Amino acid sequence: MIKKAYLAGGCFWGLEDLFRNFEGVTDTETGYTGGQNDNPTWHDHPGHAEALEITYDDEKTSFWKLLDRFFSIHNPTTMNQQGNDMGTSYRSAIFYQTEDEKAQAEAFIKIVNDSKRWPDPVVTTLEPFKAWWPAEAYHQDYLQNNPGGYTCHLIYFETYFDIPGVPIVSPTSSAAR
């Protein structure tokens, strides 16, 4: 089944670039969510996060595996900042659509904190998903269209699944039961 996930972890250009070819991801779209106005733009998006809509095939990947990738490619311990980008637009956030997604996110945050791979605790917020607004056309596929363009993302860790005892299937997912 095709599903969508909504994640924010700094500038959406780099996040999109590192998810676009991830196994099971069928599409990505940069945009805005979690803020105060309808139809936000880059110049007017109070409270919104620069975020990524990830369309994925749940027969090839899972929300749990997307979380593993998410926490491996941005610093979830910096409040409202990734690299040189600062402000609430650049917060680390998971916009959950179901209580199952929220439970999986809480469980993965515990894994990241327990791993001690970061010197500080995770500050990623868990926010209920409300609405999605695509970013302007020039923000879509930005790093593909502008090779060498700015990004503050990189692969910090290949995976958290290499830690003994970390399950590849979510222990909280209703699909795992």
What positions carry a catalytic annotation? 11
Taking CA 163 as the corner, what is the angle to CA 61 and CA 107, rounded to the nearest 5 degrees?
60
Q: d(Cα 110, Cα 114) in Å, to the nearest integer? A: 6
Strand-pair partners of 86: 81
| Nearest one of 138, 153, 145 to 90, comparing CA atoms | 153
Strand-pair partners of 6: 53, 95
Q: d(Cα 109, Cα 155) in Å, to the nearest integer? A: 18
Q: d(Cα 21, Cα 31) in Å, to the nearest integer? A: 18
